[in-house]
Amino acid sequence: MSATVIDGFSVAASVRARVAAEVAALKAGGVIPCLAVVLVGENPASVSYVAGKEKALAEVGMADRSYRLPGTVSEAELLALISSLNADPSVHGILVQLPLPRHIDEARVIMAIDPEKDVDGFHPVSVGNLVIDRPGFLPCTPHGVIALLREAGINTRGAHAVVVGRSNIVGKPLALLLARRECNATVTICHTGTVDLPSITRQADILVAAVGSPRMITADMIKPGAAVIDVGVNRVEDPTAKNGFRLVGDVDFLPACEVASFITPVPRGVGPMTIAMLMQNTLQAAKNR
């Protein structure tokens, strides 16, 4: 079998086009949706993610307020910036790129963001709304995965979805979304304490890898005909590549294609969807005002 490769890049482009049309309508009414993007330090992956977000903001016609803080900035200074952005009515969404340097308490920073501007969906109020099925901002990567499954026509009802990874950003919220009535999947979460991981991943109709470990999901861990969603973005050294590194996912892609029915590539799979969903959340934040 050779899997259908899900083109996240083009699905994301159509989401952005829909957002852009709504942004134009809001602007005609005098509202310019605006996202404040805060980057602390110079982590190369974060610099690249933030550049992607800023490019998308320009494309959909939103205002972009960028803040670049040195890696030595104090937690108090960062909290003061967030407080001023919370109070600024022209800012609709606030995104603080993670991870933060070790001397800053990430949870405290996330909790300082006004939940009305929490377009990342990381604030405990947003997380709580997700848990109890109340409207609120959904975290962008899990929401992007659900949108990709829907666009690709992958059935989730009654499917066994196995999510490998229990992060706050992807694994846990994605498991909750898959178990929601709209998806109706039966969900298993695997993590570093899971005994005999391959025996569980081989039961998955939908297998999601969100671990951050290059090519750790090998073809023998995939049930024939499964849909495989690769959330991992790992930089591996490659002297033949332009910058000396290459991006690979958590799935060993080519052999996996021989077993799966659907698969997302890295890059151009889940990644562009994360950014598209961020645009959608920022639009929603502006409309909520």
Instruction: State yes or no: is 53 an active-site residue.
Output: yes
Q: Does 274 bind ligand GUN (CB under 6 A)?
A: yes
Distances (CA, A) of 240 to 7, 8, 234: 25, 26, 17
Q: Quote the tokens at residue 187.
A: 């969900």
Question: Left (φ > 0), alpha (ψ -120 to 50) or beta: where does 2 sit?
Answer: beta
Q: How many residues bind ligand GUN (CB under 6 A)?
A: 9
By the rule CB under 6 A, 279 interacts with ligand GUN: no
* Region near ligand GUN per CB under 6 A, out of 79-87, 91-99, 130-138, 201-209: 91-99
- The answer to whether 166 is a known ligand-binding residue is yes
**Does residue number 118 form part of the binding site for ligand GUN (CB under 6 A)?**
no
Among 120, 205, 230, 250, the one annotated catalytic: 120
Residues 190-209 that bind ligand GUN (CB under 6 A): none
Please state the separation of Cα 83 from the chain's center in Å.
25
Residue selected from 98, 111, 197, 216 as contacting ligand GUN according to rule CB under 6 A: 98
Does the footprint of ligand GUN cover residue 95 (CB under 6 A)? Answer: yes
Residue 55 falls in the annotated catalytic set:
no
**Per-residue x/- mask for ligand GUN, residues 217 to 236, rule CB under 6 A?**
--------------------
Instruction: Report whether the peptide linkage leading into residue 99 is cis, meaning its omega lies within 30 degrees of zero.
Output: yes
Residue 194 corresponds to which tokens in the numbers above? Answer: 């899971």
Return the axis-axis angle of helices 140-151 and 171-179, rounded to nearest 10°. Answer: 40
Question: Is 47 among the residues that bind ligand GUN (CB under 6 A)?
Answer: no
Q: How many residues does the chain have?
A: 289
Binding site residue list for NADP(+): 165-167, 233
> Which residues are at the interface with ligand GUN (CB under 6 A)?
95-98, 120, 140-141, 169, 274
Residues tagged active-site: 53, 97, 120
